[in-house]
Copies of this chain bind each other. A is one copy, B any other.
Amino acid sequence: MNTNDNMEMRIREVAQQLFFKQGYAATSTIQIAKEVGCTQALVHYYYRTKENLFRQIFMEQIQAALRVIGQSLMSEDSFDKFIESAISMYFDTLIQNPRLPYFVLEELISNPERRKYLRENFVKNPTYAMFYLQFDARLKQEQQAGRISPIDPFDLMITIVSLVVFTFISLPMYQDLLSRTDEQVHEFVLHRKEEVIRIVRKMLMP
């Protein structure tokens, strides 16, 4: 349990939950304070501005997500097994946190400043560039061995991200428009996991 009695941390944790659930614009510092059980002034005392509080949480989440992606690339399995376990890991991580994809997308789309910040702090970071090169090298190797059909690594990445991320983004629509229960929604996600693996496998077949 992270029920730290440190006020600074409690504010951060509550803010994270609310930002996740409602997004930045729809969450007020007053609401955060009320949920924490302190006054709004205290939120500003520790983080000065709402944007500042948000940015710390946002970047922490991006970092955690990139860590999962980086970790998935470290696999020593056969390529086929590697693709399967990577996609599986992405799904399992997001099942724990189904609102993360929409949260990140919304805040990146609606705020160009955050995209700029992300580019400066992550895209230009050699660690993450290395992830891509590693993926690229592995893909080329498989291609030359004739085990997969030729495909651009960036295209493959976009395709996997599209299929994984959209599954989670579309959940509220799936649930409400088709009147599905929580249980059915969960089954849908597990089903899509298998389906996405199947699609990517077939797509890579020579």
- Residues of A participating in the B interface, judged by any CB pair closer than 8 Å: 22-23, 25-26, 102, 105-106, 108-110, 112, 115-116, 118-119, 123, 155, 158-159, 161-163, 165-167, 169-170, 172-173, 176-179, 191-192, 195, 199, 202-203, 205
Q: B residues within 8 A CB of A108? A: 172-173
Q: B residues within 8 A CB of A115? A: 172-173, 176-177
A172–B166 Cα gap in the complex (Å)? 16
A123–B173 Cα gap in the complex (Å)? 11
* 9 shortest interchain CB distances as A-B pairs: A162-B166, A115-B176, A119-B177, A162-B162, A123-B177, A25-B25, A109-B172, A166-B166, A162-B163
A105–B166 Cα gap in the complex (Å)? 11
Q: B residues within 8 A CB of A178? A: 123
CB distance from A171 to the nearest CB of B (A): 9
Contacts A115-B176, A202-B202 given; does A169 touch B105 at CB 8 Å: yes
Q: B residues within 8 A CB of A112? A: 172, 176
> Quick one: closest B residue to A152, CB to CB?
B195
Interface centre among A109, A169, A178 (most CB of B within 10 A): A109
Q: B residues within 8 A CB of A158? A: 166-167, 170, 192
A205–B155 Cα gap in the complex (Å)? 20
Can you name 5 extra interface pairs (CB under 8 A) apart from A162-B166, A165-B166, A202-B203?
A: A108-B173, A115-B176, A119-B179, A159-B195, A161-B170
